[in-house]
Amino acid sequence: MDMIYCDSAATTPLDKDVIKEMNYISTSIFGNPSSIHKFGQESRAIIERARLNISNLLGCNLSEIIFTGCGSESNNIAMLGLLNRGDHLITSSYEHPAVLKTANELELKGIEVSYIKPNSNGIIELQKVQNAIKENTKLVSVMYVNNELGTQNPIDQISDMTNELGILFHTDAVQVIGKKNISLRDTNIDLLSLSAHKFYGPKGVGALYIRDGVKLLPTYYGGGQEKDLRPGTENIAYIHGMSVALEIAIKDHDSWHEKLSEYESLFLDNLNKFNIRYTQNGENLIGGILNITFHDILSQDLVIALDMRGYAISGGSACSSGSVKSSATLREIDMDEQLAMKTVRISFGKNLTEKDILGLSNCIADIVSSQKQKSSSSA
């Protein structure tokens, strides 16, 4: 049975052209980029071409991009490298753990942290951020798009406000890069994190945008690569793969955005033909991520049943230590606990067809209807 993958917000498969490019680098170029001989300089040239390409695609300067191992590492470098005892950090309460756990660690080191709750629609409101600002506020970090809801935060407005006040602004943009074209020089974003595997590039590589003039201290030490901020011999094949993947994503953006919109409409329109109760959560959505509460089935039961029928989606709850807990994100938007346990995330990718979309919605309707009948019979 061929599986249909509908969990692209978690990760994406490698684009075939990215695989081809990476294979060439992996089998032909092996020099250490820090070496001064021809082999090393050949590798160095690939890295710097990738840096130039990515900076052009993101609308920033060549000097403003450093390569990292992933989006989580980019978040850590940005936050740990900037904040010191006595500083104040503002972030949201539904960030990715790479930000939230880093913020928790910073609190242990004497940094004051304020956590802003999203509203019931999953949006961080500008006024709430503004109200949290103090004299010692040094950094505001708010995710561009929430990874579970797909909601877009008012990043331009928040960064404009922080810029006026002389406060630095960081955003975890892992879920937006490749889905929305951004020109960083037209924004007041000071630091931005991204990860290749979210836009059909390889896992194990990311980047951090650091606006010229923003000074970060090293968080760990080694050979001095990437401005001393990410020491270690660079993975040239992965860096090149990320560059190629981003170029493809931005080139195909308009047509893919239109296709995503068509897929979402097709999925929901078909679902509406059936007598099942559901609620779509969030507003100002990025496209491609649907967070849906199906009122008559637990999310874990739906995810497992779909997996057995050949469809992969993500549950709105996580299992740990033998117990099932509702999603922290859903708790932060004050969703009822029972409803949170019935919420799933469906995220579409470019590997899908209209047949796949219709098949998924039909399958969900069948599973939910069967569960509803069982519940009625046992009542």
Token pair recorded at residue 189: 């974003």
SS (H, E, C) 208-265: EEECCCCCCCCCCCCCCCCCCCCCCCCCHHHHHHHHHHHHHHHHCHHHHHHHHHHHHH
Which letter does DSSP use for residue 186 in this model? Answer: G
Quote the CA–CA distance of 72 and 101 in Å, as a whole number. Answer: 10
For tokens 């995330």, the residue is 345
Q: Are 329 and 149 in contact (CB under 8 A)?
A: yes
Distance CA 172, CA 192 (A): 6
Paired tokens of 194: 């991204």
Strand, coil or helix: 174: coil
15/240 Cα distance (integer angstroms): 13
H or E segment at 279? strand 278-280
Task: Give ∠ CA 317-102-128 in degrees, rounded to 5.
Answer: 75
| Cα–Cα distance for residue pair 284/154, rounded to 1 Å | 10
In angstroms, how far is the first alpha carbon of the chain from the final one? 35
Q: Other CB atoms closer than 10 Å to residue 111's CB: what's the count? A: 22
Distance CA 5, CA 192 (A): 28
Choose the catalytic residue: 6, 60, 70, 319: 319
φ and ψ at 286, to 5 degrees?
-75, -30
DSSP-derived 3-state class of residue 140: strand
Active-site residue, 319 included:
yes
SS3 assignment, position 338: helix
Residues annotated as catalytic (active site), given as ranges: 319
